[in-house]
């Protein structure tokens, strides 16, 4: 929230998605009373109201929304008012069946759910901007309005459409990317391969289902185009809102979480005044708290400071095979863990549990059971907690470690026809993030071409299959000037067109790492090799190996067995005044932790604060105080050395604070 248009609310904002249109008006008064009881300060309204606001084309009915906005204002609750464009009404599709999206197999989808539109449809764009404009004109000066909520989760259900309209839009995008040079595109896509050469722009189609593996660069450009197509809808709506209300900040709820990869949020972030995120736990993730931390750090990095948690859940969701409820204290730990990573607003999907519709089994702040429920008591408790933490707002985390994160590299790594289909970008990054999280080391995420890497002592590149020469040169420069760099396997392999960097792997990083790989040996699922050398006894590795020749680096660990027995698996290279490490395989978690510990010590990066195992630690730094967050995930609680005042209980801390089992402590420390 670092732009001129800031969200100006006192305290840490608290609330959720509010859908009063699903309820008779008698219920609204109870909503207001209970929102106040829970300490709710802001709700998102109108997200799915298009059919009510514009019951037929060009005919508006704002009576209900007027009452809702007034009611919120009367009760001192701010509105995060949405443009309702994520769910076009039935009349729209009746008039524009061509705006329904088509999947890769050529199947056109049907209305009857939400977000079932083609992102490149001119009819959709026109209708969306029209309703956005009408909402903006009606409420720009409403006193309840605090922020615009543009659309809802762009790309959640329609990240790509393969229809002919999308094909035409793709061509326009390609002509811009390749400056109208079809030869340039043919070269970039390597179309001499398999006779894929294009003689006319009109021959280019979306990467629809094919009999044999698709062209990788075609796929990659398609993913870039799909992200940009949705971004252009977002910025178009935002411009409409800005024209009506130049001082009101706008956000759209991103999905920085494990399962979503459709949008390049580095490109989205600069277009938004407030960055907000929707985060849900996956029931099959045994350490979901890691995903909260990772996505929170990524959000803070995208925002360049504090951000807003627009949605998470009080309990179970409705969209996983089995929807796990949260255990005692888990909802509070989750919410405060987001705050620890920089969230200055905490909101849920949703305020009141729906009785009908596809989300009737989704948890809410006010469950079906009503106020005599654990969830409600926890919701009220969390409201009080956030009030107690009000002063934390605007403070941020100061990291000396940067982890390189890149959507282009993610998309490219997961293209078909890779040496191994077992590589998952998010998992590779999380492998490296985990030991830092356990050790309590503060981490930022950066783009590969970040021009200010020198503010970090250590830059980690867990996975960067695709990298431009310029970005690789920036990382090498950082190292030469005295930084410590660590790079994971299968990085530096291809350029922005997904062409192999020639001359041996790892291509763009060969020189800085001081190694040359002449052949890749990915490992089969379940295959595990021993590692020996400067690694813990019994160290192993899986997933990947490669035949390395040292070209300046020295070996830290070698394979104990397998086809590469005796050859280097981990290397270290002095490059200029700095050091570059290469992890050419995936060490087991203990070995990876030991290596990263050593690398971190070499870079002189210490944990934020000494804590026992099971305690997550983060420090937010403000101008007048620091805030030490201690979160117990181990279930045992712990005594931790600290000085200051514990804000959740308001008790002074002189020397030691007790973090209760499964609980949280936040200490205001003098700075």
Residues with a catalytic annotation lie at 153, 311
Q: Which C-beta is closer to ligand GLA: that of 252 or that of 479?
A: 252
Instruction: Determine contact, residues 451/474, Cβ cutoff 8 Å.
Output: yes
Near ligand GLA in 401-420, by CB under 6 A: none
Q: Please name the residues in contact with 502: beta carbons below 8 A apart, sequence gap of 6 or more.
A: none
For residue 252, how many other CB atoms are within 10 A of its CB?
27
Q: How far is CA 633 from the centre of its chain?
A: 22
Supply the minimum distance, in Å, between the C-beta of residue 116 and ligand GLA.
14
Of 258, 255, 359, 253, the residue nearest 308 (C-alpha) = 253
The two three-digit tokens of residue 543, written as one number: 């997933």
- Encoded one letter per residue, x for contact with ligand GLA by CB under 6 A and - for no contact, window 356-375 reads ---x--x-------------
Could you tell me which of 9, 3, 89, 83 has the C-alpha nearest to residue 44? 83
How many residues bind ligand GLA, per CB under 6 A?
9
Q: Rounded to the nearest whole angstrom, what is the least distance from the CB of residue 280 to ligand GLA in the complex?
A: 6
The site map against ligand GLA for 112-151 (x = CB under 6 A) is ----------------------------------------
Binding of ligand GLA by 430 (CB under 6 A): no
| Beta carbon of residue 17, minimum distance to ligand GLA (angstroms, whole number) | 6
What would the two tokens of residue 191 be? 């179309």
- Residue 113 C-beta: closest distance to ligand GLA, Å: 11
Return the DSSP state at 239: H
Residue number, 219 or 362, with CB nearest to ligand GLA: 362
Could you tell me the smallest distance in angstroms from the CB atom of residue 375 to ligand GLA? 15
Which CB, 228 or 278, lies closer to ligand GLA? 278
Between residues 117 and 349, which has the closer beta carbon with respect to ligand GLA? 349
Binding mask 587-606 for ligand GLA (x = CB under 6 A): --------------------
Closest distance to ligand GLA from the beta carbon of 623 (Å): 34
Query: Of these, 170, 173, 189, 349, which contacts ligand GLA (CB under 6 A)?
Result: 349
* Contacts of 389 by beta carbon, 8 Å cutoff, 6+ apart: 12, 336, 339, 627, 647, 648, 666
CB atoms within 10 A of CB 122: 13
- When binding is defined by CB under 6 A, the residue of 31, 54, 80, 153 that contacts ligand GLA is 153
The first and second tokens of residue 390, run together, are 């009000």
Contacts of 559 (CB under 8 A, 6+ apart): 529, 530, 531, 532, 541, 545, 565, 566, 567, 569, 585
Residue 140, helix vs strand vs coil: coil
Is residue 437 within 8 Å of residue 589, measured between CB atoms? Answer: no
Q: What are phi and psi of 20, to 5 degrees?
A: -65, -20
Contact 348, 16 (CB under 8 A): yes
Binding mask 2-41 for ligand GLA (x = CB under 6 A): ----------------------------------------
Closest CB to ligand GLA among residues 362, 430: 362
Given 152, 301, 497, 579, the residue binding ligand GLA (CB under 6 A): 152
Site for ligand GLA in 255-314 (CB under 6 A): 278, 280, 311
Query: Do the strands 651-659 and 638-646 form a parallel or antiparallel pair, or are they unpaired?
Result: antiparallel
**Chain residues in the site for ligand GLA (CB under 6 A):** 152-153, 278, 280, 311, 317, 349, 359, 362
């Amino acid at each position: 929230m670092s732009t001129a248009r800031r969200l100006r609310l006192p305290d840490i904002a608290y609330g959720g998605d509010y859908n009063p249109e699903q309820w008779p008006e008698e219920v609204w008064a109870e909503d207001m009373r209970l929102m106040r009881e829970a300490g709710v300060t802001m709700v998102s309204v109108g997200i799915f109201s298009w059919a009510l606001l514009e019951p037929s084309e060009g005919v508006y009915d704002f009576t209900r929304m007027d009452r809702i906005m007034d009611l919120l204002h009367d009760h001192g609750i701010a509105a995060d008012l949405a443009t309702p464009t994520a769910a076009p009404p039935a009349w729209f599709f009746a008039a524009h069946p061509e705006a329904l999206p088509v999947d890769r197999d050529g199947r056109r989808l049907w209305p009857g759910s939400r977000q079932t539109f083609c992102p490149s449809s001119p009819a959709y764009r026109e209708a969306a901007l029209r309703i956005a404009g009408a909402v903006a004109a009606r409420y720009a000066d409403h006193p309840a309005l605090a922020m615009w909520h543009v659309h809802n989760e762009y790309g959640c259900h329609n990240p790509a459409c393969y229809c002919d309209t999308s094909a035409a839009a793709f061509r326009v995008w390609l002509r811009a990317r390749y400056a109208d040079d079809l030869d340039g595109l043919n070269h970039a896509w390597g179309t001499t391969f398999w006779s894929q050469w294009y003689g006319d722009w009109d021959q280019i189609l979306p990467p629809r289902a094919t009999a044999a593996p698709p062209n990788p660069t075609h796929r990659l450009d398609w993913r870039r185009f799909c992200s940009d197509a949705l971004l252009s809808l977002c910025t178009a709506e935002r411009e409409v809102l800005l024209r009506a209300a130049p001082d009101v900040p706008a956000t759209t709820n991103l999905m920085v979480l494990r399962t979503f990869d459709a949008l390049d949020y580095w490109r989205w972030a600069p277009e938004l005044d407030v960055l907000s995120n929707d985060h849900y736990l996956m029931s099959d993730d045994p350490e979901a708290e890691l995903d909260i931390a990772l996505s929170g750090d990524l959000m803070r990095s995208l925002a360049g400071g504090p951000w807003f948690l627009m949605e998470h859940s009080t309990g179970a969701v409705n969209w996983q095979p089995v929807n796990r409820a949260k255990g005692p204290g888990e909802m509070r730990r989750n919410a405060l863990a987001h705050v620890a990573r920089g969230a200055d607003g905490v909101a849920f999907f949703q305020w009141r549990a729906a009785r009908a519709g596809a989300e009737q089994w989704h948890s809410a702040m006010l469950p079906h059971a009503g106020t005599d429920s654990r969830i409600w008591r926890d919701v009220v408790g969390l409201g009080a907690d956030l009030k107690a933490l009000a002063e934390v707002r605007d403070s941020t985390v100061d990291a000396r470690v940067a982890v390189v994160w890149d959507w282009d590299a993610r998309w490219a790594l997961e293209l078909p026809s890779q040496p191994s289909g077992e590589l998952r970008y998010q998992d590779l990054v999380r492998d490296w993030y985990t030991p830092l999280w356990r050790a309590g080391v503060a981490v930022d995420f950066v783009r590969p071409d970040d021009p200010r890497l020198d503010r970090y002592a250590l830059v980690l590149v867990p996975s960067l299959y695709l990298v431009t020469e310029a970005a690789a040169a920036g990382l090498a420069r950082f190292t030469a000037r005295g930084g410590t760099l660590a790079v994971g396997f299968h990085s530096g392999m291809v350029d922005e067109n997904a062409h192999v960097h020639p001359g041996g792997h790892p291509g763009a990083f060969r020189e800085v790492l001081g190694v040359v790989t002449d052949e890749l040996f990915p490992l089969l699922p379940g295959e595990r090799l021993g590692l020996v050398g400067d690694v813990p006894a019994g160290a192993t590795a899986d997933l990947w190996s490669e035949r390395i020749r040292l070209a300046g680096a020295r070996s830290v660990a070698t394979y104990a067995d397998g086809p590469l027995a005796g050859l280097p698996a981990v290397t270290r290279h002095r490059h200029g005044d700095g050091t570059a490490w290469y992890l050419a395989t995936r060490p087991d978690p203990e070995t990876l932790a030991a290596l990263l510990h050593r690398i971190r010590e070499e870079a002189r990066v210490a944990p934020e604060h000494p804590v026992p195992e099971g305690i997550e630690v983060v420090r937010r730094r403000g101008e007048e105080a620091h805030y030490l967050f201690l979160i117990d995930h181990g279930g045992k609680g712990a005594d931790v050395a600290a000085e200051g005042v514990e804000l959740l209980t308001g008790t002074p801390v002189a020397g030691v604070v007790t973090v209760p089992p499964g609980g949280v402590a936040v200490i205001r420390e003098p700075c």
